[in-house]
A = this chain, B = another copy of it.
């Protein structure tokens, strides 16, 4: 007996997340999918996002309004306070961080690292 049934809605949500690097919110995923699936429910989006996070297929980025990342591999984020965009940031050091904290006696399952400031795009705009 299967633990999970196949769900068309869940796969749509997952594929939508995989197809973008914009780290959308539940609401914006809902709006996009609603176009082709007019009777999609917002609750279904939330339910499946939680489901996918538990499975480890996607990552929740805890925010004022939570955002989601279809790239579940370990990486950081940069949040631009000017345009509100959320960028992926890959740091070589990142794996070491968990080791350092492990050596302190903690069992580290994962970490969240988010930088905040102004992105290069908005920096240009400001100068102009």
**Stoichiometry, copies per complex:** 2
Residue numbers in B under 8 Å from A64 (CB-CB) = 62
Which among A110, A112, A119, A120 has the highest number of chain B CB atoms within 10 Å? Answer: A112
A105 contacts chain B at the CB level, 8 A cutoff: yes
Q: Which of B104, B107, B113 contacts A111 (CB 8 A)?
A: B113
Q: Which positions in A face B, CB cutoff 8 Å?
A: 62-64, 78, 80-81, 87, 89, 91, 93, 96-98, 100-101, 104-120, 123
Residue numbers in B under 8 Å from A105 (CB-CB) = 119-120, 123
Q: A101-B78, A112-B113 known; A106 and B91 CB under 8 Å?
A: no
Q: Are B93 and A106 in contact (CB under 8 A)?
A: no
Q: Which of B78, B93, B112, B120 contacts A93 (CB 8 A)?
A: B93
